[in-house]
Amino acid sequence: MGYSRYDFTPLLHSIDQWLYSVMSPAWALIVELTLIGLAFLIFYALVGLFLVYAERKVCGFIQNRVGPNRVGKYGIFQTIADFIKLLMKELIGTKDADKLLYNIAPYIVIICSFMAIGAIPFAQGLLAIDFDIGILYIISVSSLSVIGVLLAGWSSNSKYPLIGAMRSGAQIISYELSVGLSLLTIIVLAGTMQFSKIVMAQENGWFIFKGHIPAIIAFILYVIASTAETNRGPFDLAEAESELTAGYHTEYSGIKFAFFYLAEYMNMFIVASIAATVFLGGWMPLHIPAWNGFNVVMDYIPPVIWYFMKTAFVIYIIMLFKWTFPRLRIDHLLTLEWKYLLPINLVNILFMALIVLLGWHF
Amino acid sequence: MTNYQFMFFLLSAIIIIFSILTVTTRRILRAATFLLFVLVATAGLYFMLRFNFLAAIQLTLYAGGIVVLIIFSVLLTSHISQKLEKASISKRILAAIAAIAGAVLCIITILATEFPTVTPNPPETDIHTIGQALLSTDKFGYSLPFEVISILLLAAMIGSIIIAKKRKD
């Protein structure tokens, strides 16, 4: 196929072979791991900075404002300036806080999002680990980040963080179910959990088109549930600034606060990438069966650009959510999950299984 | 020492150190956090054995589920200044005897067992095999245990709903 001209596998293989030829296998492995880690760290920082800028611009757009426009052209250096400010700020803790847990909580949150990003395919051959349980791995790793939130809330020794952490815990645990079940709907259709195979299966049509009605329902449910799982508005009860100042990270300052902030944006990015990969074809260009000329033209656009365009689209939807809808109340939030999303999801899986068995998908 | 052995020793060291810290710390939430590290390192061992499915389940159920439940209940019930009291001497001696007896039993069993040598890189157990074994009714199928566990979980769920339900007085 045309898109394989952008395959990263030969390039990465030649780097791998070169490393193994110049040094011992043990050192080659260590160097490779370090390089991958560095690449992800840089990627992480860049995406984080860009997303904060994008969020402020989208917010400005919705509220009929300009948004940041002073530092650099269109304010593009605003987030870098903010980041430098955060780096230099003094770290202030609370009295009688559990210092050990208080200090490791930001790292737990950030390590979880770091682990999840390793399994996401950015382009053909461009992913760190290709598990046969890819989706399950990402769900399980991202379910750990709630521990960081709970620990941060409790160890701060302060009321607002504790309330924020409790809300966040209840919310993440319940919405995880909907996230998992809506992804399971697509696993039923795909027959695999491996990300590379899921993307390859969407060569002749993305799953949201192939699975038509149940896939579209699953996509909507996934976007709602994952917005809630990443603690973003209108489900941002965990940090509801009008009631709880900032929720679980009220007592954090400087770089530790920046870690929570960055992890929140990275979680949004990961959630959007999963949505893009599982429902919208990941890096796979848009192919319509029998439209060969169209498919050839689409193949000329590099997969990395396809991937980032789709992810940006989902991120834009999630940002629109935040600035459009008012915040829910905690009991409404849990009612929405347990009485609406979960039953719809369960019926939807049965519906999808029926469609797959009868062969009514494309 | 190969990378594989290095990772094994690293993970084992994490498991041993944090297991000891889990039972010796006086603060209950710290104990839960150390337990989390033990469980995550165990998942790491499963990943080393290429039991990816089991590792992911370990992370989801134990680390993401049970530890979260423990932390959640600690959050609801205890205050940050609370520390566990030191146990009395007689309790400590009894606990030590029980622990040593258990350890001796385990070590004797492990030493007496003939472990078959395996190839350094065992093949991955893919989810298709696990799924088919779980739902097959053949000789090595797990259909019956699967159903029995489903009924058990259903019963537990009904029980918890009844306990949590508001009573009409």
Task: Record the tokens describing residue B8, joined without a space.
Answer: 């094994």
Judged by a CB distance cut-off of 8 A, whether residue A26 touches chain B is yes
Q: Is the pTM of this model over 0.90?
A: no
CA distance B78 to A161: 15
pLDDT at A110: 87
Chain B contact present for A119, CB below 8 A: no
ipTM over 0.85: no
Q: State the pLDDT at residue B28.
A: 82
Residues A213-216: contacts with CB under 8 Å, at least 24 apart: A213/A351, A214/A185, A214/A348, A214/A351, A214/A352, A214/A355, A215/A185, A215/A186, A215/A189, A215/A279, A215/A352
Euclidean distance between CA atoms A155 and A251, whole angstroms: 10
pLDDT tens string A106-148: 888 888 888 888 888 888 877 888 888 888 888 888 888 888 8
CB within 8 Å of A358: residues ≥ 6 apart: none
Query: Is some CB atom of chain B closer than 8 A to the CB atom of A29?
Result: yes
CB nearest to A140's CB, from B30, B56, B127: B56
- From chain B, pick out residues whose CB is under 8 angstroms from the CB of A34: none
User: Taking CB atoms and an 8 Å cutoff, what residues of chain B touch A157?
Assistant: 80
Q: What are phi and psi of A225, to 5 degrees?
A: -65, -35
By mean pLDDT, which of A206-215, B22-31, B63-72, B119-128 is the weakest? B119-128
Interface contact B39, partner A, CB < 8 A: no
Cross-chain Cβ contact B127/A133 below 8 Å: yes
3-class DSSP assignment, residue B86: coil
pLDDT tens digits, one per residue of A191-244:
888 888 888 888 887 888 887 888 888 999 999 888 888 877 788 776 766 777
Instruction: Kindly list the distances between the CA atom of residue B18 and the CA atoms of A111, A112, A186, A349, in Å, as whole numbers in the listed order.
Output: 18, 19, 39, 41
Whether A31 and chain B come into contact, CB under 8 Å, resolves to no
